[in-house]
Each structure stands twice: as C-alpha cells, then as structure tokens.
Structure 1
Amino acid sequence: MKLKRKVEIAVISDVHLGTYGCHAKQLLTYLNSIEPKTLILNGDIIDIWQFKKRYFPKSHLKVIKKIMDFASDGVEVIYITGNHDEMLRRFADTTIGNISIVNKKVLDLDGKRAWIFHGDVFDVSIQNAKWLAKLGGYGYDVLILLNRFVNWILERMGKEKYSLSKKIKNSVKRAVKYINDFEEVASDLAIENGYDYVICGHIHQPKMLIKENKFGQTMYLNSGDWVENFTALEYQFKRWKIYNYNNDKLSPFFADEDLKDMEITDLIAAITVVDRKKKKSD
C-alpha cells in the first residue's frame, strides 16, 4: 500500500469537466496522491456553460466519484461557485453532509485570514456580456482541441509539447495587462479588508506572491487550472505551495484499482446512490 501525502488544505479550480480541454486523468492521479483534511473546489469544476450530453467521459465521472469519496471519508469539501458553474449559485449556502456550496469563503489559518473566491466578479466581459464570454469559451475549446492534435504530432516526433493558448496569452499585451490588473484588484481589496491571503482561480495562471501597497500587504495565490497548467494549491505546516503535476510528481498514484474497470453505468450509480453498507450501519 502506497502512502499518501497529508495536506491540511488542497485547492483546485478550473477543471472544466465536460469539455475536451479537461485533463481528468491527471487530476485523478493527483487526488489519489493526497490525503487532505479540506478540499476546496474554487470554481469552474463542472463546465455547465459548455456541457454536452454526448461528451462526459468515464474519466470525468471518476473525478466526481473521487470527490464524493473524499466527503464520505470525512474530508470537508467546499465547492465555491465560478462563472462556468454559475447555475450552482442558486444553491449557495447549502450543505449536504461534508459538502458545502458557497460563493466565497473566509478561513482562519493559524492566526491568519484567507479570503477565497473564484474571481469572475472582476471580469467585466462576463458581468456585462455573457454571450460574448461564452463565445470566447467555445473558441478556447476549439483551440485546446487543435493543441491536442499538434501535441500528438510533436510527441511522435520526439519533441516537447507546446501550448498554443499560453503562447497567445503571453504575446497579447491586453491579456497580460488583464492578468496584472486582476492580481492588483484582488490584492488591493484583500489588503483593504485585512486579509492575509487572497486565493483565486478563473484566469488559469498559477501564482503565489506578496503584494504590497501603501496600506499594507497580502499574499496573492492562484490555483491555476487542469486544462493547461495542471496545478493546485496546498497548505501544510503553516505555509502555502503551488503543486505542479508536471514537475512535482512526488507520489505517482494512478486511478484507484476499484475504479479502473468500472463501467460508466456503475460509476453513475456509485455517484448517485447512497453507500448501502453505510445505510445498513446507520
């Protein structure tokens, strides 16, 4: 039996289950490698905007089952809503067992306060023109599909993978400015309200840095995503770190053996039906 890494808090965001860009297998590998006390899902976990009935593969269902298994094993699961899963906002402040749905969360961590939210509240294009934001989302999905094809060719040529969307983002000045502005606004608000940490997702840019202004300082953290960066945030021993799947494979755990051979119908049943053993013992 392989030992799992114990972490006090794990934060993931921007998984986009139900889209072609989601790398559910890598995420499942990561989730199987940790033993968290609290798992924070910081928005855009299930992509309800671009959900297609014909595309929700087995690996995506396994991620949902793994999260529910965490909750049934006593892990506190906090689902913070994002823009792609905004339909869940109508259920904000609902708690079912160890799973709670909220729009934002404040945690006290070893005498410091952490302010956690997805971050789309700062995005004018989403607040004022949702149809335009959704159109951009579809374009992003097409770009990811194209990128997969390019990387398939590169792998067979023995070359490193390449991220088209990262290249585009980094080369477009407006995109770079948007990311910088996002970080500044989030940090300034955190300092104004006395938070020691501000933790976001949304912009798919993993980051951890101290931000200062004339009123004080805060630590800005972004959990990144599981479309391009394969990153998470972890809190343990009174400090934060960015976990990067490609660089930090500290424990190479893969899909649970009991999930590997399950049919999709069995996975759906496991997600939707109460554990019979627990029911009998209650």
Structure 2
Amino acid sequence: MEDTRPVRHVRALFISDVHLGMQTIQVEELLKFLALHDADTIYIVGDLIDGWRLQKEWNWPPEYDALANLLFAKARAGARLVYLPGNHDEFLRDYLGTYFGGVEIVDRMVHITADGKRYLVIHGDQFDVVVANAKWLAHIGDWAYNFALTVNVPVNWIRRRLGLSYWSLSAWAKRKVKNAVSVMGRFEQALSLEARNTEVDGVICGHIHHATMHHKFGIHYINSGDWVESCTAIVEEHDGAFELIRWKDMSAPPRKRRGLGRLRATQ
C-alpha cells in the first residue's frame, strides 16, 4: 500500500551504515524513509557500501540502484549530498575532496546548525582501536556480526508465528556482553574528546550501529545508528533541534510506536 503521509522537509539529514552488499539489510525501509524526508543537506556518514562483503560475494539487487537513483534525484533537486566514507567503503577515501554526480566526498566536516552550533561529522572508525590497529580482528568481528544476523532470520520467523515482536541477537549481545558495552563507551568517549579538541559543540558519527544522543562526556554526542537492523537516522530541524528517528517505530501501528528522541543542540 502506498504511504500517503506528507513529505517532511528538514534542514539536515544524517544516515549511516546501510552496508549495501550484505544479505540482511533494510534497503526497502530506507527507500520508504527517504521518500518521505527531504533535506537541504544529506550526510551519508560512512559505510553506505560494504566493500568487505562485495569483495567476497557480489550482491547488487535492483533496490540498490533504486537507492542510488533516489539520492542522485535529491541532489538534482537541490539537496547538498556529503559522503563521509567509513571502514567498509574506505576505497572511497582515495577520492577525498572530489565531487561525483554532485556528491562531495570528504573525510570529516563541520556542520553548522540553524542556531549557530558547530558539529564534527565523521564516520568514527578512525577512533576504533580494533579497526585501526588489528584489521584482521575487525574482519572476525564482521563475520560474527553477519552470523548473528543470519541466526536472526529463523529465530524471528518462529517469533512471528508465536505473535512475538522482532528480537535481535546482535543487539542483545551488545547490551549484555560487558566488553562490548565497554568498547562502545570508549568509542563514544574518544569521539567526544575529538570534538572537544576540534573546538566544536558536538559530534555526529556512525560505525558502531548504536543510535543515541547524550551529553555523558560534556559534548553533545550523536550516533545515527544503522539500516542493517535498527533503521535509524538523525535530522536537524529548521530551528536547530536534533531528532533521533527510529523508522521502524514510525512505520508500526500507532499502539506499538515508542517515543522518538528529540534534543535541542543548546541542551
């Protein structure tokens, strides 16, 4: 059924970690989301393409072309598109400072909000010790993550049969395994420190597939999450306020929707 909701226009939109090339991702949901959201500036905060996966097995269904065409159509319509490569699409770092089809490719950028706040925008893998110093271990982690996603499929088929909601093994592991929680905390702290050293008011990143907004380290830390499982994005409204959108909740029936995160940059 066609979605008849009005298109929402925001000042800036941030998405990350789509991982085109993986088998179990939410491209169709992202297409629906982008069809209902326009922005003056669209930031792709890394790992739109999963080069690691595509090197092992080529997987490029028509939905991927539809996504690329939609993004280029938004650029032709006047949106500014900024692509900040991550570790899975690091081959694009060979083209930093260039334009491709109206898309700017940069390693990092400072975004200025409507109310004058400054935010460092960066994928964040540069501050991941495992990725930076032990790439072989990062590939093992990538394999484990893909295995968890594969396990999710039969588990959630059974849960749907029983009338239960979606459950994620990988998300559960991140929450329950103390080491994973500690790694995420150190990542957030490192990005917050980099933002402070860059003399900005906050940081907007991706990489760890954990959408959140907080001030735990004295800096406005924002992570846009992913479109592998959680289907999350960050928008800046025209007054400078940021909102964390959980698209699956917005797409669910009203009685199943959870509250959306909204946080003004001045807080």
Q: Which TM-score tier does this pair reach, normalised by the shorter chain?
A: 0.7 to 0.9
Amino acid at match of 1:70: K
For 1:28-177, list aligned pairs within 5 A.
28-51=31-54, 54-109=58-113, 110-177=115-182
Q: Deviations over 1:70-124 (max 9, x none)?
A: 1121111100010000000000110135310111111222321110000001112
Q: Distance in 1 between matches of 2:91 and 2:43?
A: 18
- Residue 138 of structure 1 deviates from its aligned partner by 2.2
1:239 maps onto 2:244 in alignment: no
Unaligned segments of structure 2, at least 5 residues: 253-267
Tell me the TM-score normalised to structure 2 length: 0.87
Whether the 8 Å CA contact 2:21–2:58 is kept in 1: the answer is no
- Give me the whole-angstrom Cα distance separating, in 2, the residues matched to 1:90 and 1:34: 30
Compute the displacement of 1:126 (Å): 1.2
Alpha-carbon distance in structure 2 between the residues aligned to 1:8 and 1:98: 18
Aligned length: 247
Deviation at 1:249, TM superposition (A): 3.8
Structure 1 residue 59, shift from structure 2 partner: 1.8
Q: Which runs of 5+ in 1 are unaligned?
A: 251-282
Letter in 2 for 1:205: H
Structure 1 residues 138 and 112: alpha-carbon distance in aligned structure 2, compared to 1, 3 A threshold:
same
CA contact (8 A) 2:14 2:42 kept: yes
Aligned counterpart, 2:206: 201
The amino acid that maps onto 1:168 is A
Aligned mates of 2:170, 2:120 — CA distance in 1: 29
How far did 1:194 drift? Answer: 1.7
Provide the TM-score with structure 1 as the length reference. Answer: 0.83
**Contact in 1 for aligned 2:98/2:104 (Cα 8 Å):** yes
How far residue 54 of structure 1 moved from its aligned partner, in angstroms, is 4.2
For residue 133 of structure 1, report the CA deviation from its aligned partner: 1.1
CA distance in 2, matches of 1:16, 1:97: 20
Q: Which of 12, 18, 23 does residue 26 from structure 2 map onto?
A: 23
Q: Counterpart of 2:227 in structure 1: which amino acid? A: W
Task: Quote the residue 2:193 is aligned against.
Answer: 188
RMSD of aligned Cα (Å):
1.8
Moved over 3 A (4+): none
Contact 1:106 1:116 in 2 (8 A): yes
Q: In structure 2, what is the Cα distance between the partners aligned to 1:13 and 1:245? A: 14
